[in-house]
Structure 1
């Protein structure tokens, strides 16, 4: 199909380092962005012919975390997550308004409340491709853990959270079920299974990857959320979508995940559409595992970003 819209003509990436871990209980994931910067992701992006907007500093989202943040119902750290994601949404929006590609390096996956909201503020017809072992669509009233990295999509689709959450009133539902697709699922909670079925959300589990192969799965995913290949794409990639043998330094690893090549193929194929406008790379946790496992995970994270920005094997 012919792409009828042009994105990324400016060929500039706004790199947003999101040093935040409040959406889950394990410390250290807020150090993920620093490690990717230290590993040289900025120069790697430049070598692909992109300009980079990054002034050498982070917005320091940690300063937005309140001293006291008591639970609200099941939700843990709700004010911290709200404050950080609201600020991040503005930063992503501002990058998109300049015609830049918004690259958000997390941090935990709760940051997607902000990144996706920021993309939607400029590209209101966008679609969301969610690469993850987990569906992250738990209603806040039904999450058993209370960790908001398992709930971000519930804020983005109207009607999933039945009761208003005052702390998140700034979040406007910006996503419809037909514009969301999952790839790589293998650890899905019971409420999430119900919602995916009720809303008819297209979800490709690892069973589907095994059955069809990753090439066919990506083609079917794109055909569903972007049938005319004219919608801007937001790619949200949790490194735990990969098998722990590929990316071990992450907080919620689940065996039986995507292989090294399957993860890279997803990014390569989406890059080939010319429609990718934003990407999240999240849940790299430098404090989990050995120095070797950290290097392996950060290396893979940087490689996935490069593929999403057009790096090819030949």
Structure 2
């Protein structure tokens, strides 16, 4: 997706290199060793029309996510279980928003839980669930930290409003409810009164876009949102793209960073068990590199990993998808694939 300011961003990127260079050097020694991580499952599938995303958190746990993080990263991990989404109160309905009540109640409960986890001084990894869960995770993050930057890694922009959505599925709308400039286009409803926080468009960036609705493209262009499609990744390379995105939304590292990672941002061969795959996506290596760079950036407080659907595909497809998602999580909280440099652990045999 084209950006008129990309060449300026490239120039500006080098001006920030010394600042971020120290941050990267320092974080590789501190991030994993000092990381206190909370895991939260959000088994919501109301935001789309396929069965299965709600079983994502169980699939991650079955694959041993917590033990893998502890083993490879020596991280203090606490599993907070799943958000309780069984009780759904009836609220005012809204046109062209399927399962609106369930989605909004889940997001509200999620927001409170995220705030509680962050208030304990932990960083957080949420396991989806469909991508509408991000309304609650990002909002809870904004309640805990006033200045938040959002990196949305996805094949889709998810910035439709109810009047522009072709499907009425709410997993394609969370960004419009989170962004200050687009929320005003939503009707004022009692069900949304708890949404007290929003994020300015300048604090939002996309990576991996390749299936964007016409109205979403108009919104992105009108608001000047930083957006990198697959063609940009091919043109500039993934390292330059993620560096430009982070420099644009968090140039001085003063904002708390939220990354919302939809597994369909990856090439379907890498992650086949997802509901809305789009061919020609990021490679797993590129996805890992994005999260390693985020780790080096040193500001990550919340990571969402969403849209893993264990009911799609054969057993090996599900295993491949879950393992790819776990590699993304490991890169975010452990960092470089070479391992953590810690001389108190590493014993080099003498010859």
* Shorter-chain TM band: over 0.9
2:101 maps to what in 1? 79
CA distances 1:42-100 after superposition (whole Å, capped 9, x unpaired)? 01111212111225x42332x1345x789620111111011101000011111111110
**Aligned residues of 2:83 and 2:110 also touching (Cα < 8 A):** no
1:217 pairs with 2:248? no
**Would the alpha carbon gap of residues 121 and 70 (structure 1) be closer, same or farther in structure 2, given more than 3 Å must change?**
closer
1:50 pairs with 2:75? yes
1:16 maps to what in 2? 40
1:32 pairs with 2:51? no
What CA distance in whole angstroms lies between the structure 1 residues aligned with 2:118 and 2:319?
A: 31
1:160 to 182, 186, 192: 182
1:126 maps to what in 2? 148
In structure 2, the residue corresponding to 1:54 is in which secondary structure? Answer: strand
1:172 pairs with 2:196? yes
2:316 to 282, 292, 299: 292
In structure 2, the residue corresponding to 1:236 is in which secondary structure? Answer: strand
What CA distance in whole angstroms lies between the structure 2 residues aligned with 1:301 and 1:46?
A: 16
Number of equivalenced pairs? 311
Q: Which has the larger radius of gyration?
A: 2
In structure 1, the residue corresponding to 2:290 is in which secondary structure? Answer: helix
2:326 maps to what in 1? 302
CA distances 1:255-287 after superposition (whole Å, capped 9, x unpaired)? 000011101100000001111111000000000
TM-score by length of 1: 0.94
1:64 pairs with 2:67? no
Shift of 1:229: 2.1
What CA distance in whole angstroms lies between the structure 1 residues aligned with 2:313 and 2:304?
A: 23
Shift of 1:312: 2.1
Higher helix share: 2
What CA distance in whole angstroms lies between the structure 2 residues aligned with 1:125 and 1:3?
A: 19
Shift of 1:142: 1.6
1:182 pairs with 2:212? no
What CA distance in whole angstroms lies between the structure 2 residues aligned with 1:71 and 1:241?
A: 31
What aligned pairs does 1:245-260 form with structure 2 within 5 A after superposition? 245-260=269-284
Range with greater deviation from structure 2 (304-313 or 157-166): 157-166
1:199 to 194, 217, 223: 223
**Aligned residues of 1:124 and 1:174 also touching (Cα < 8 A):** no
**Aligned residues of 1:92 and 1:118 also touching (Cα < 8 A):** yes
**Aligned residues of 2:151 and 2:260 also touching (Cα < 8 A):** yes
What CA distance in whole angstroms lies between the structure 2 residues aligned with 1:132 and 1:305?
A: 15
Task: Give structure 1 stretches of 5+ with no counterpart.
Answer: none
Shift of 1:20: 0.8
2:255 to 231, 234, 253: 231
RMSD: 2.0
Task: Give structure 2 stretches of 5+ with no counterpart.
Answer: 1-18, 339-351
